[in-house]
Chain A
């Protein structure tokens, strides 16, 4: 079964820590995305990538960076975690060509204390 795997379901980190959220997909998808989900705000795009070593800012990139060294892996980095980054983080992937839906991971619930 094809899937998008996020390395952690729950994380608790301290303010100021550098945090890595990892996402791996096994579908050979070109596109990968990072979203955060907060009550009443829906899915907000942080960063996305169309190809290896390529990245583009989404709607709320401040305080985040990303890395895509291999096609199957897309990492979200919180350089210095803050309490307002407490959220559910969702990774997704899709084919590049044509119009196809995204496949989402199960999410990582991050709490910054």
Chain B
């Protein structure tokens, strides 16, 4: 099955700086890559996603880039704010049907005021 690795496990950044989280995946047929943000005491929420026919997607302060050749994708958060502190999960689709996702283990981002 699909295997998704997420690095680093913990990331601390100063408020205003940028944060980057990288994920690698194993299945070259994967074609959908969502990112989730989980705040304390809540379920994960979809914040941005990218499909394999696109190399980059941006939504305000967050962006995702995809390198299909290297089989990795990254989440970029610019001008970080304290409310960006959360656990972030990347995921990649299984290549066979029924819309299964494989998740990375998560990344704790801490924004230091």
- Listed in ascending order, the chain A residues whose CB lies under 8 Å from chain B are 4, 31, 40-43, 48, 50, 90, 92, 94-107
Contacts and interface: CB of A to CB of B under 8 A. Distances in A.
Interface residues of B, number: 23
A90 B42 CA distance: 10
A42 B105 CA distance: 4
Interface in B15-45: 31-32, 34, 36, 41-45
Contacts of A100: 32, 99
A94 to B, nearest CB: 5
Interface string B68-94: 000000000000000000000101010
Contact of B99 (A43, A90, A97): A97
25 contacts: A31-B98, A42-B103, A43-B103, A43-B106, A48-B100, A90-B44, A94-B99, A98-B99, A99-B31, A99-B99, A100-B32, A101-B34, A101-B36, A101-B46, A101-B49, A101-B91, A101-B101, A102-B46, A102-B101, A104-B45, A105-B43, A106-B42, A107-B41, A107-B42, A107-B43
Given A43-B89, A105-B43, A96 B98 contact: yes
Contacts of B34: 101-102
A92 B42 CA distance: 13
Nearest to B1: A59
B43 to A, nearest CB: 4
Interface of A is mostly: loop
Given A41-B105, A98-B99, A104 B32 contact: no
B32 A99 contact: yes
Contacts of A90: 43-44
Given A99-B32, A102-B46, A103-B46, A42 B89 contact: yes
Nearest to A29: B99
B51 interface: yes
Contacts of B43: 4, 90, 92, 104-107
